[in-house]
Amino acid sequence: MSLQAQIMDEIKTAMKAKDTVALESLRAIKSELLLAATSGSGEALSADDEIKLLQRLVKTRKESARIFTEQNRPDLAEPELAQVAVIEKFLPAQLSEEEVEAVVAKIIAETGASGIASMGKVMGLASAQLGGTAEGKTISTIVKKLLS
């Protein structure tokens, strides 16, 4: 089942349950998918593009929640975090830091990378291999740690 079909089914379920947070989150996903599909490239979205789109939505909401929390506005941060939980249901399971570290260590061993100058090469390979299963920030932190 495609992501758009899943989203439509979930929207119907959220409407029936009168779950406004889920409904708002799902409508945001649907909107982003439609914008990406009609961006003019003429190509359908691949699964990787859909995952990147969902990750971007999660990242912006987490950042908003962090800012609201810093400004002592938990009333605004809570809905953002609730939306993150809804959106994350459509993402693949995230790897733990230990699992990411194991994959990055393997890549470093295979490429023979040493020093921070090799970070770009390792990051490219790690991002391609880990895809949507780890955040870029987590990968970057682990690569820096292992190369320095």
Q: Convert the pLDDT of each residue in 65-117 to its tens digit.
A: 999 999 999 999 999 999 999 999 998 888 888 888 888 888 888 888 777 88
Mean pLDDT of 111-128: 82
144 vs 72, more confident:
72
Coil, helix or strand at residue 58 = helix
List pLDDT tens digits, range 5-46.
899 999 999 999 999 999 999 999 999 988 888 876 667 788
What pLDDT was estimated at residue 42? 63
Task: Please state whether the predicted TM-score (pTM) of the whole model is above 0.75.
Answer: yes
Nearest Cα residue to 87 out of 58, 61, 62? 58
Residue found under tokens 């349950």: 17
Nearest Cα residue to 100 out of 67, 137, 71, 70? 137
Mean pLDDT of 117-140: 83
What pLDDT was estimated at residue 1? 66
Instruction: Quote the crossing angle between the two packed helices 74-88 and 20-37, to the nearest 10°.
Output: 60
Rounded CA-CA distance 3/92 in Å is 12
